[in-house]
Amino acid sequence: MDEETQHSLECIQANQIFPRKQLIREDENLQVPFIELHGESTEYVGRAEDAIIALSNYRLHIKFKESVVNVPLQLIESVECRDIFQLHLTCKDCKVIRCQFSTFEQCQDWLKRLNNAIRPPSKIEDLFSFAYHAWCMEVYASEKEQHGDLCRPGEHVTSRFKNEVERMGFDMNNAWRISNINEKYKLCGSYPQEIIVPAWITDKELESVASFRSWKRIPAVVYRHQSNGAVISRCGQPEVSWWGWRNADDEHLVQSVAKACASDSRSNSNKLINGNCSRDFSNGGDLSDVEFDSSISNASGAESLAIQPQKLLILDARSYAAAVANRAKGGGCECPEYYPNCEVVFMGMANIHSIRKSFQSLRLLCTQMPDPGNWLSALESTKWLQHLSVLLKSALLVVHAVDRDQRPVLVHCSDGWDRTPQIVALAKLLLDPYYRTTEGFQVLVETEWLDFGHKFADRCGHGENSDDLNERCPVFLQWLDCVHQLQRQFPCSFEFNEAFLVKLVQHTYSCLFGTFLCNNAKERGEKHTQERTCSVWSLLRAANKAFKNLLYSSQSESVLYPVCHVRNLMLWSAVYLPCSSPSTPADDTCAPYPAPGSSPEDQPLGRLPKTRSFDNLTTACDSSVPTTNRRSSDPSLNEKWQEHRRSLELSSLAECKDEIVCNGELEPENKMTEKPAGFSIAQKYHVTNGHCVNGEDGRIKASLSRQVSTASCSSAQFHLRNLHQKWMFSHLGKQQAASSPDQPARSHLDDDGMPVYTDVVQQRLRQIESGHQQEVETLKKQVQELKSRLESQFLNSSFRLNGDYGDEVTSIPDSESNLDQNCLSRCSTEIFSEASWEQVDKQDTEVTRWLPDHLAAHCYGCDSTFWLASRKHHCRNCGNVFCSSCCNQKVPVPSQQLFEPSRVCKSCYSSLHPSSSSLDLELDKPITATSN
């Protein structure tokens, strides 16, 4: 009975705890202007001035005449009424939205609705991520296990600690050990349950150290250099206070970190320490720009190395003045006299209040209308790029100490959960190429930001009753901005592209996923967010090709040394200026394949030249006469002309009223598994940007039609056109049945309900890659054609009675392979007149282009699916692929110079059934064609 009761409770929770809300329409004719996600329910739909506005439990959607605004509710920071009829929405990612209403009452109604919707939740279950996951589990009840796997992060994330210890090569026998002192978070609620410490440090000493460090955040090792054994550790500030307290166990632990590096078995052979590594900043002064450059230029050289004990670098992210001022609050910094063989450096990074003020200034600048004339000076006054520069310099100093000077580093700020993860995560990203892969980056974020307790709920403002604006700060966004700066300087070193980072920024605040909920791992465990919400890594998984950097090379630099000066940094326009950032429609049809209904004359196999010869393309669109084809990359071709050209090419394939265009991109078969199963998309029929992409069957046949249409064989093209029409009309009814006519198109939204971001560089790379693949396939076909012609000439040479004739396509004379010295082709052709040659039908000498095996998934006759034990057979007459039962007849094919019985399909066999008279006639043709 207990098990049955528990099971029934689970069913009730999935069905009833997140009920849909009643839709309120200001106008009965209004429809929801977007496709809802699972668990999403639209509450209000109304009209603004020249726009339709809709509010759900997940997003605010405003559809203007020429643009669309789609923003999650938790991404909105504040809503206010600036003018009598205008709402002013300020977003946490620097965007500002303005919406004009017709009446004051309507404006006030929407102001109240939005303020209620964006209010911090009273309980965490009010966030949309819980409803989204619960409804997904209900919809996919039959595939619950599969959906659960898709919603969870990969094994590389769940087993990250064990994998990282093994990958970085910690000597767990002599130098280091894994302490479980924080099991069930009994020591520190914002630390992971397992931490790495020197092997000879006991748990009792760790408890003593915890009483001396802020929030009990003791020094814990988080990274080991695989070559020299130098480590990076992190902690909170020491609680020195005005009384100058000290702790012997803390001093012993800090020194033990350096000793453990020296005793590491893998670094025993490399104990050369730079005795002149940098200037001594232990006097408490901040590191200026000049001193930073000089310390970098004085990096370790072979002549300056000396065998000395390792000197640990303590990097304090604060300024010296801020560190001393913290002594009044019970904090402080390490005193060099108490920590021998250590060097303290202060980086002068701003606190969260200064960063928040700088970000607000940047947001105000980016939303000014019109564009200010003093843009550059105004951007400088925000100091946003200056803050990025200081952060990059701090991380680079850690990289130099670990990689070049082979020194261990201890990083901390005040509490150790804001500036500390910024520096440590950025340094690890520069040091280790693994973290620059998609999987490694996920491990990096999970380890340094989530496990070590960055306060996402307070900093992002989506925690329970997180009304304190002083706690909000875009710390994680600032770090992602630095990652973007590294992407710009090292475009071949990152496996993920800019779209990956843009999505990560959006879902840091969107609350669609539960990855960034709560302030630490302890709270997430108590709320069971991992079991009750989806992971953002299920969307940003490595298999998702939309986030893959096509320029990535695994052989790029192992350690990155970026330029950190402000003049080398750029504003992240894709996030802060999304309207002005270069983007194109999310249409990856970039493959320059001809349309199935076009003729070979209209679609030459060669590459089309890039030209700007057409002056008035807009006028040409209105003309019914198709003009000369041009490359899709021609900048003179506007969007209207492209759409018109596609409609002309496909007019012979669709007789329905609505225009349907088949996406030219061949999607992988496992694309549906690359995204969480909870996304509310038709799994078999997915509409994006006005392009109909039917299921696997349709993708294969569409690709088949593109490949074969490049050939100039008229018979193959005729069968291809019939195949495409058959497929189009058979699936058209299913597509219309799957989506109601009132359902809006989803051209501007991605699968997660967010706006589509297209990286113009990556899109151009996909175009180049697609064009290259097409050229390779064309060359392969030409080589295969040449090979078949040469083999045909050699096999049929015995049928040639009076001599050879030249091959029109290969331009290789048949006489080269003929050993007959009396062949007429070796004689001078001057003795023959043009009248002595008999004109031959082109179809009699043209070779059928065979459909490649890898493009045929079904029999052309009975439409049965090929598998491992089902052999494919080509018809020697039409070139299509059939099964053994549909292609079991043999007959000579004189038109293809196959005079012995050859395998043909049933249809061709009926038309080519040999008779004595017809066979003799066909045998005479090649002889008559070469000689009179």
Active site residues: 413
- CA angle at 519 for the pair 517 and 524, rounded to the nearest 5°: 60
- Consecutive H or E run containing 397: helix 384-399
The length of the chain, given as a count of residues: 932
Q: Do 309 and 262 touch, CB atoms closer than 8 A? A: yes
Kindly report each contact of residues 716-719 with a partner whose C-beta sits within 8 Å and lies 24 or more positions away, as own/partner: 716/848, 716/849, 716/851, 716/878, 716/879, 716/880, 717/599, 717/600, 719/860, 719/878, 719/880
Say if strands 42-48 and 51-56 run parallel, antiparallel, or are unpaired. antiparallel
On the question of a cis peptide bond just before residue 370, with omega within 30 degrees of 0, the verdict is yes
Q: Tell me the residue ranges of DSSP E strands in 612-724.
A: 686-688, 691-693
Q: Who's near 494: CB < 8 A, 6+ residues apart?
A: 436, 486, 487, 549, 552
Tokens 């668990």 correspond to what residue?
39
d(Cα 52, Cα 61) in Å, to the nearest integer?
Answer: 8
Please choose, from the candidates 383, 377, 391, 410, the residue with its C-alpha nearest in 3D space to the C-alpha of residue 347: 391
State how far the alpha carbon of 455 is from the alpha carbons of 419, 722, 915, in Å. Answer: 12, 61, 87
- Consecutive H or E run containing 24: strand 24-25
d(Cα 523, Cα 463) in Å, to the nearest integer?
Answer: 11
Q: Do 550 and 766 touch, CB atoms closer than 8 A? A: yes
Q: How far is CA 170 from the centre of its chain?
A: 32
Q: Tell me the residue ranges of DSSP E strands in 459-530.
A: none
d(Cα 40, Cα 18) in Å, to the nearest integer?
Answer: 10
SS3 18: coil
Residue 161 CB neighbour total at 10 angstroms? 18
SS3 of 207-266: the string is: HHHHCCEHHHCCCEEEEECCCCCCEEEECCCECCCCCCCCCHHHHHHHHHHHHHHHHCCC
CA atoms within 13 A on the CB side of 17: 18
- For helices 696-709 and 714-738, angle between their N-to-C axes, nearest 10 degrees: 150
Specify the amino acid at residue 877.
N
Tokens 């699916």 correspond to what residue?
865
Please choose, from the candidates 592, 553, 923, the residue with its C-alpha nearest in 3D space to the C-alpha of residue 778: 592
d(Cα 113, Cα 87) in Å, to the nearest integer?
Answer: 12
- CA angle at 268 for the pair 265 and 271, rounded to the nearest 5°: 145
d(Cα 315, Cα 330) in Å, to the nearest integer?
Answer: 20
Residue 783 CB neighbour total at 10 angstroms? 10
SS3 of 410-444: the string is: EEECCCCCCHHHHHHHHHHHHHCHHHHCHHHHHHH
Tokens 């919603």 correspond to what residue?
151
In 796-892, which ranges are continuous DSSP H helix?
A: 842-845
Buried b (16+ CB within 10 A) or exposed e, 370-390: eeeeeeeebbeebbbbebbbb
d(Cα 267, Cα 195) in Å, to the nearest integer?
Answer: 21
